[in-house]
Structure 1
Amino acid sequence: MSLAVQLAEYTEVAEKLILAPSRGVVRVLDPAVVTAEGEIVEVGQAIAIITNSGDEVEACSRFSGFLMEMLVQSGERVRAGQPLAWLRTFS
């Protein structure tokens, strides 16, 4: 097996998604409170709140990295597991 093939099997992707933990209506947290695109997000940091039947659940990052783009806007309905944002992790 060539080195390129071996490396391809173990290449780690630097881009990660922050997923909605549940279905409902999303409220993206204010960049002044959380972070803005291009800034650093830490593990466990909330980027949005999902509201469903009066219950609120924070959408938190499982990774540290630069917040590259929010993929949803406040007021949108989302499903569980839907990507909300993407990060570029530290290499």
Structure 2
Amino acid sequence: MSGGELTLGAVLARLEEREREMTAQAETVREQITQLTAQHDELGRAAEEVRITRKTLLELPERNRPRRRHRSCRIIRPTSRSWRCSPRPTVRCGHGRSVRRWT
């Protein structure tokens, strides 16, 4: 045998080493697939939630109508009795806002 030829034992040893390397690579790829599958599922759920939110928003009624004022915020015209007591009405509008003066 010349120096370039390999014995059967050496070939088998190289094949066994190569098999171990490929098995390790396959396991690494399997783990990556598991992680990517989990990410894929999570993104799918998030996309579904966004789709449902979008549909819900499209089904809401339009808000272009003018808003009604709260009843307690209408202009208060003083009666002659309250006018004599105070230059402005004593009643306040709701939510702590000041009274609108009558015109």
Q: TM-score range by the shorter chain?
A: under 0.3
Looking at both structures, which has the greater relative contact order when contacts are Cα pairs under 8 Å and sequence separation is at least 6?
Answer: 1
In the superposition, the TM-score normalised over structure 2's length comes to 0.21
Q: Larger C-alpha radius of gyration, 1 or 2?
A: 2
In the superposition, the TM-score normalised over structure 1's length comes to 0.23
Greater fraction strand: 1
